[in-house]
C-alpha cells in the first residue's frame, strides 16, 4: 500500500508543471513600474518623451494565446521641454484624441517551469493613435521573473504621417516621419 501511495504522489508531483501550463493567468499592469517612451529625430537634436500608462492588462490563456492591452494619455508624455510638449499636444490634437492604445496578441506562449525565464514574443495587433487605427507588430522580450511577476521590453516604429499627424518643425525643418515607441511594462498576477 505504501508503494502505491508513493507512486501516486510521485506521479502528481511530476505532473504539476504540466498542469500549470494549462492554467490561464490574468496579469494587471503595475503602472508605477511601467513606461512608454517615444523617440523622434530632428537634424538639430533627438527628442525623447516618456509617459506612465494609465491602464493595462495581459491575459495568458491555457492554449498559449497571450493578449495584451495598454493605454496611455498623450498629454502625459514628457520630453523635459514644456514648449515642445505643448506643441506635440497641439499636433496630436490631444483634446480630440486624448489617448494612445495598443491591443495585441501572440500565440504559442507558455508559462515557463523555472524562473526567471526570457521568452521572445511578437505581438500582432492594433495601435489606435490620433484617431487612426493601424495594424502593428511589436517584438518584445517577456521576462517571467516568477510565477506571479512579468516584465516586457520592446521597440517598434510607426509613421507619423500614417497616423495623420503633422510633423512638428524647428527652424522650418520637420522632424523625421519615423517615431520609435518603446514599451517597458511590468505586470503581476491579479489577486496576488
DSSP characters for the chain?
A: -HHHHHHHHHHHHHHHHHHHHT--EEEEE-GGG-EEEEEEEETTEEEEEEE--SEEEEEE-TTS-EEEEEEEEGGG-B-S-HHHHHHHHHHTTTTTS-EEEEEEEESS----SSSSEEEEEEEEEEEEETTEEEEEEEEEEEEE-SSSEEEEEE-EEEETGGGT-PPPEETTEEPPSEEEEEEEEEEEETT-
Higher pLDDT, 100 or 8: 100
131-152 per-position pLDDT tens digit: 999 999 999 999 999 999 999 9
pLDDT higher than threshold 70 for residue 110: yes
63-104 per-position pLDDT tens digit: 999 999 999 999 999 999 999 999 999 999 999 999 999 999
State the pLDDT at residue 43. Answer: 87
pLDDT higher than threshold 90 for residue 176: yes
Average predicted confidence (pLDDT) for the chain: 89
Higher pLDDT, 97 or 110: 97
2 pLDDT band (50/70/90 cuts)?
very low
9-22 per-position pLDDT tens digit: 333 333 333 334 45
Average pLDDT over residues 19-37: 85
Amino acid at each position: 500500500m505504501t508503494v502505491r501511495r508513493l507512486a501516486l504522489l510521485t506521479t502528481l508531483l511530476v505532473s504539476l508543471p504540466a498542469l500549470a501550463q494549462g492554467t490561464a493567468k490574468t496579469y494587471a499592469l503595475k503602472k508605477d513600474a511601467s513606461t512608454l517612451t517615444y523617440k523622434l529625430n530632428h537634424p538639430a537634436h533627438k527628442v525623447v518623451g516618456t509617459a506612465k500608462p494609465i491602464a493595462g492588462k495581459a491575459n495568458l490563456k491555457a492554449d498559449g494565446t497571450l493578449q495584451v492591452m495598454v493605454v496611455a494619455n498623450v498629454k502625459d508624455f514628457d520630453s523635459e521641454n514644456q514648449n515642445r510638449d505643448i506643441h506635440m499636444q497641439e499636433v496630436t490634437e490631444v483634446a480630440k484624441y486624448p489617448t494612445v492604445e495598443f491591443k495585441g496578441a501572440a500565440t504559442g506562449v507558455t508559462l515557463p517551469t523555472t524562473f526567471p525565464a526570457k521568452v521572445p514574443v511578437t505581438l500582432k495587433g492594433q495601435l489606435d493613435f490620433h484617431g487612426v487605427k493601424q495594424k502593428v507588430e511589436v517584438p518584445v522580450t517577456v521576462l517571467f521573473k516568477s510565477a506571479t511577476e512579468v516584465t516586457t521590453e520592446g521597440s517598434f516604429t510607426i509613421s507619423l504621417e500614417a497616423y495623420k499627424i503633422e510633423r512638428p518643425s524647428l527652424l522650418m525643418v520637420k522632424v523625421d516621419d519615423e517615431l520609435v515607441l518603446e514599451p517597458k511594462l511590468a505586470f503581476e498576477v491579479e489577486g496576488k
